[in-house]
């Protein structure tokens, strides 16, 4: 299936956000995931489905001031 990841089209086999994080090789603790304009609560990543044409943005934790 195809998703829009950070503005770019990408093929994925991930069925949930949790699987997508693993597929992308990201450190879960340092990111937030926006799914269709809303940030998905982390504790629900494993049950939040990824669907065809979803718009997903990965927001990285930053801490500079």
Partner 1 sequence: MIDFTEEQIERYSRHIILPEVGAEGQSKLLESKVFMIGAGGLGSPVAYYLAAAGVGTIGIADADVVDMSNLQRQIIHNQDRVGIPKVESARETIQSLNPDVKVNTYNYRIDADNVREIVREYDLIIDGCDNFPTRFLVNDACFFERKPLISGAMFRFEGQVATFKPHSSKEAPCYRCLYPEPPPAGLVPSCSEAGILGALAGAVGTIQAVEAIKELLGIGDSLAGRLMVFDALRMEWKKLKLHKDPACPLCGEHATITELITYEQACELQLGHS
State the residues that interact with partner 1 by CB under 8 A. Answer: 27, 29-30, 32, 34, 37-44, 57, 59-65
* Cβ at position 49, least distance to partner 1 in Å: 16
The answer to whether 55 and 36 are in contact (CB under 8 A) is yes
What is the H or E stretch that residue 8 is in? strand 8-11
**Residue of 51, 53, 63, 60 lying closest to 31 (CA atoms):** 60
**Local structure of residue 50 (DSSP, 8 states):** -
Between 19 and 34, name the residue whose CB sits nearer to partner 1: 34
* Cβ at position 58, least distance to partner 1 in Å: 11
* Cβ at position 21, least distance to partner 1 in Å: 14
């Amino acid at each position: 299936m195809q998703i829009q990841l950070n503005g770019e089209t990408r093929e994925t086999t991930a069925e949930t956000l949790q699987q997508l994080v693993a597929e992308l090789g990201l450190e879960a603790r340092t990111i937030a995931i926006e799914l269709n304009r809303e940030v998905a609560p982390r504790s629900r990543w494993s049950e939040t489905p990824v669907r065809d044409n979803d718009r997903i943005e990965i927001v990285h934790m930053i801490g500079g001031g």
